[in-house]
Amino acid sequence: MDETLLPLRADEEIGNRQRRTFIPHQNVPIQAVMVDDNVRGPLESSGFRIPPPFRWDGGQWEIVGTDSQILVVTLQGGEEVMCEPGAMLHTVPGIESDISSGGTMLGLRRCCCAGESFFRIHYLNRTMQAQTMTVTPPFPAKVIPVDLNRYSGLVMKRRAYLASIGRNVEFGLKRPSTVGTALCGGQGLLLPTIYGTGVAFLNAGGTVMERELAPGEVLLVDKHALVACESTVDIGVAAAGSCLMMFCGGMGLFVLQLTGPGLVLLQSMAFERAAAAYCAGQGRGGG
């Protein structure tokens, strides 16, 4: 027998075995369960929901883009936008910029203990005509609108704040509930909070999920994944698992333990994760 034919026949026999293996499965309706209206999908069963894409409803602001979004704001005469330093994408001559800290001591505490910026930037429309400007996150991220009339006192991850409209917004700092959370929770010694009325805008990377926790309900999340939560949510820490898991599982020693009630916002690609992946690629000589 010609030995050169053996590999071909071997491959043919393997292919026949594979075909025989898959033939009984050809008629299985794999997607049948996905079209059953009475069956809840994994996301719905988890209690999370994905905020629907923003649709402009005629208001003064609009969010455009997909993964790296832009906030477009139309300011009437005398109206202003407050945002993080460096967030402005474009403006026009009729809009005047100014800078403030909200108070020296608060600015120092916010900068040194919460990892936030010392300054806030204000863009005020000094004309009598409507003017438009745009604001964008400091990294590829989505813009998340938050109704402060409902969620005033929201606790934010450091550098989650992007912008807000008007001057009816104030910032504060909240102490973590335990020393362990302050030292091991990855959120800093103090947690930034935001109060006021109107709409504030946060930035979050990747896919954003939200969930309303019931009283006493516990959720364990990666310490970088938290974007914001209501002040009623208790933020604690828990061990990431066994000793082997803590040192080799890739989650660090601790994860965040969130206890309801209240709203929780999570992100799939935090700035820290994106930066670590980029640095790892550069370290391997990636272009």
Question: Residue 243 — left, alpha, or beta (φ > 0 → left; ψ -120 to 50 → alpha)?
Answer: alpha
In order of 97, 133, 171, 198, 261, the CA distances from 118 in angstroms are: 17, 23, 12, 23, 31
Distance CA 76, CA 167 (A): 14
Note whether 234 and 259 are within 8 A (CB).
yes
Burial class of residue 100 (count of CB atoms within 10 Å of its CB; 0-12, 13-18, 19+) = exposed
169: CB partners within 8 A, 6+ apart: 82, 148, 194, 195, 196, 197, 198, 200
Structure tokens at 54: 């923003």
User: What pTM did the predictor assign?
Assistant: 0.77
Note whether 256 and 236 are within 8 A (CB).
yes
Q: What is the CA radius of gyration of the chain?
A: 25
Distance CA 26, CA 196 (A): 59
Note whether 135 and 71 are within 8 A (CB).
yes
The pLDDT profile of the chain, 287 residues, written as one tens digit per residue, is 444 333 444 444 444 444 433 344 445 444 444 455 667 788 888 888 888 777 777 789 999 998 889 999 999 999 999 999 999 999 999 999 998 876 666 666 666 655 667 788 899 999 999 999 999 998 899 999 999 999 988 999 888 999 999 888 888 888 877 777 777 666 767 888 988 998 999 999 999 999 999 999 999 999 889 999 999 999 988 887 777 776 777 667 788 999 989 999 999 988 877 777 777 766 665 55
Buried b / exposed e over 183-196, threshold 16 CB at 10 Å, is ebbbbbbbbbbbbb
Beta bridge partners of 219: 258
DSSP string, 112-146: HHS---S-EEEEEE-SSS-EEEEE--SSS-EEEEE
- Asked whether the bond before 261 is cis by omega within 30 degrees of 0, the reply is yes
Note whether 136 and 69 are within 8 A (CB).
yes
